[in-house]
Amino acid sequence: MPRFDLIATSTFGLENVVARELQQLGYEDCKVTDGRVVFSGDEHDIARCNLWLRSADRVLIRVGEFPATDFGELFDRTIDLPWAELLPIDAQFPVKGRSVRSRLHAVPKVQGVTKKAIVESLKKTHNRFRFDETGAEFVIEVSLLKDIATLTIDTTGPGLHKRGYRAIVGTAPLRETMAAGLIQLSYWNTDRPLIDPFCGSGTIPIEAAMIGQNIAPGLQRSFAAEDWPWIKRQIWKDARTEARDLKKKSLPAPIMAYDHDPDAIRLSQRGATDAGVGGSIRFGVQEVSNLRTPLKYGCVITNPPYGERLGEHEEIEAVYRIMGKTFATLDSWSVYVLTSHRRFEQLFGRRADRRRKLYNGRLECQYYQYQGPRPPRADDEVDDEQNTYDEQAAHKEEAAFDENDAGKAHLHEPIPLPTVATAETSAMALESIVLPTAETPPVVDPCATFIADCSEVQEAETLDVTHVADLLDN
Ligand SMILES: C[S@@+](CC[C@H](N)C(=O)[O-])C[C@H]1O[C@@H](n2cnc3c(N)ncnc32)[C@H](O)[C@@H]1O
C-alpha cells in the first residue's frame, strides 16, 4: 500500500492541538509548522484522519515541494511529479492557488502553469492528448510560501468544520474546529462539569459532548476521497464501523449550555440532538448574571459577544463586568474566554494566567485562561493545602505543551480514540451524573476553464486554460 506525506492544515494557533490529536491517533512522526502538521500515512490513515480530527481544517496529500522562483522552474518540477499514479484518467483536477511572500505572485498564472504541467505529465504517461475530466474530483492546490511551492491534493472536500450536524446557524457562530481547539486547550476532561454561559448555537457544548462521548466528528458526513477509485469503499466502511463501536452513551459530569436568547437555545438543542449528544447537555435560557452552580472544579469555556459593531461597546463592557463578578463566585472553577475585546481583562477584573492569540475567522482574538485549583484525586488525602493549584508546575506543563511533542496529553484524561484507551478516572468532588434528555468547486472542463479559488489571498478569478500557452509566453 503506498504511503504519502499527509498534511493536516489548521488555523493559526491550533497547530499543536492538531499535532496532539494526531499523536493520540497513533501518528508519532508529526512535524509542526505554521498552519500545518505533516505526517505520513496510507489510504486507511486518510479515512481515519478525516473522520477523527477535530481541530484540523483539512487533510491533504503532499505531492511535491520544491523551490520555484520562475515559471520555468515551476513547470519543470511539476511535470516530474507522479501525477498519473494519483489522478485516474477521467479525474477532474481543478487547480487552486495561493502565493505569500514569493516572487511568483501572479496567482492565476501560477495556477495556469501548474495545470498545464500536470496535463503534460498525464499526456506522457497515458499517451493521450485530451482529458475529459468527467470522473471523481481531485482538487489540487499550488501554494507558494517564500518561493517554496507545495503541491497538494485535497482529500477532505468541504472543510472539516462542516460536521454535518448543523443545518442552521445562529449569529456569529464559532467554527466547530475552533470550538474543539478551545476545549482541547483547556484543562477540561469528561470528569469535570463544563458551562458555556453564552452558548449561541451551542458549538462549544456540542463539541465538548462529542469529545466526551468519543464521537468521531466526521461520522455524519462524506469526504472528497470517498469518490476516489483507488481508495476501496471498504476502507471507509471499516473506519466508520470502528468509530461507531467506540462511541460512549453518556458522560460522567454535566455539560451546561445557557444563553439569554430563547431562539439560540432552541437552535443549540436541535444541533445537539442532530449531533447525537442531546442527552449529555442541559440547556437553559439564562442571563449570565444569574449563573450559579453547587458543582465544583468545573470549566467555563465561552465565546461571549465581542461588541465589534458600532454602538455595542457600553453594553458589552457591562456584560464583561458582570462576568467578572459572577465568575468570581465559582472559586474552584477554571475559566476560558475567547474574545477580540482589547480591554477584556480590565473589565473582567483579573489578569489571565495565560493568553493565547487565535483567529476567529479573520478577527484577531485572545484566549484568556484562568486556571482554578486542581481537582482532588482519589488517592489525595483530604487536605486543602495539598489540593491548591500548583501554578509553577502548571506553567511548566503548559510550556511543555507549547513546545508541542507529547503536549498536554499527560494533563488530560486521554479520550479513547481508535488506538488510545481511557485513562483512570480522577475522583472529583462530583457525583456521577447521567443527565436527562433535555464550497464545492464547480465542475469544469479542463480544456476550457477552471476556477482560481484564492479567497485567502485575492479575489477568485476564472481563467481560460485554452490560453495557458499565452500565459506561458507572457
Ligand atoms: C458570540 S455569540 C456565541 C456564539 C457561540 N459560541 C456559537 O458558536 O454559536 C454570543 C452569545 O451570547 C449571548 N448573550 C449576549 N449577552 C448575554 C447575556 N447577558 N447573558 C447571556 N447570554 C448573552 C447572545 O445571545 C449570543 O448568542
Nearest CA to ligand 1 atom 12: 198
User: What was the pLDDT predicted at 115?
Assistant: 98
Residue type, 7: I
How many angstroms does the Cα of residue 474 sit away from the middle of ligand 1?
A: 53
Q: Compute CA distances 47 → 161, 177, 214, 221, 263, whole Å.
A: 16, 18, 17, 12, 36
Ligand 1, atom nearest to 170 Cα? 9
Phi then psi for residue 226, to 5 deg, are -70, -20
Position 458 scores a pLDDT of: 29
Given this model, what pLDDT does residue 311 score? 65
Q: Is the CB of 307 under 6 A from ligand 1?
A: no
Residue 333 CA, ligand 1 centroid: distance in Å: 20
In angstroms, the CA 315 to CA 356 distance is 25
Residue 416 is predicted with a pLDDT of 47
The residue whose C-alpha atom lies closest to atom 14 belonging to ligand 1 is: 198
Distance 247 CA to ligand 1 centre (A): 30
Residue 317: CB within 6 Å of ligand 1?
no
CB within 8 A of 1, min separation 6: which ones?
A: 42, 43, 44
* Closest ligand 1 atom to Cα of 306: 1
Please give the distance, rounded to the nearest whole angstrom, from the Cα atom of residue 305 to the centre of ligand 1: 6
**Probe ligand 1: pick from 171, 195, 259, 267, max atoms within 8 Å of CB?**
259
Fold for the domain defined by 176-216+246-410: Rossmann fold (3.40.50)
- For residue 51, how far is its CA from the centre of ligand 1 (angstroms)? 29
The answer to whether 471 and 124 have CB atoms below 8 angstroms apart is no
* Cα-Cα-Cα-Cα dihedral sign, residues 467, 146, 458, 227: positive
Q: Given ligand 1 and candidates 260, 267, 314, which is best to mutate, with the most ligand atoms within 8 Å of its CB?
A: 260
- 291-343 tens-digit pLDDT: 999 999 999 999 999 987 656 788 999 999 999 999 999 999 999 999 999 99
Closest ligand 1 atom to residue 169 Cα is 9
Residue ranges of domains in the chain: 4-159+441-473, 176-216+246-410
Annotate 226-259 with three-state secondary structure: HHCCCCCHHHHHHHHHHHHHCCCCCCCCCEEEEE
**pLDDT number for residue 450:** 27
Residues of the chain with pLDDT under 70: 168-171, 309-311, 379-474
| Residue located via cell numbers 494533563 | 411
- CATH hierarchy code of domain 4-159+441-473: 3.30.2130.30
287 CA from centroid of ligand 1 (Å):
10
pLDDT at residue number 170: 65
Report whether residue 260 contacts ligand 1, using a CB cutoff of 6 Å. Answer: yes
| Grid coordinates of 35 | 498552519
The model carries a pTM of 0.83
Q: How many CB atoms lie within 10 A of CB 23?
A: 23
56-69 pLDDT, tens digit per residue, is 999 999 999 999 99
Q: Which one, of 340, 344, 353, 348, lies nearest residue 393 by Cα? A: 353
**DSSP secondary-structure letter at 432?**
-
Longest dimension (CA), the chain: 79
CA distance 29 to 31: 7
CB-ligand 1 contact for 30 (6 Å cutoff): no
CA distance linking residue 37 with residue 49, whole number of Å: 12
* 184: Cα separation from own chain's centroid: 11
Instruction: Establish whether residue 323 lines the binding site of ligand 1, counting it when its CB lies within 6 angstroms of any ligand atom.
Output: no
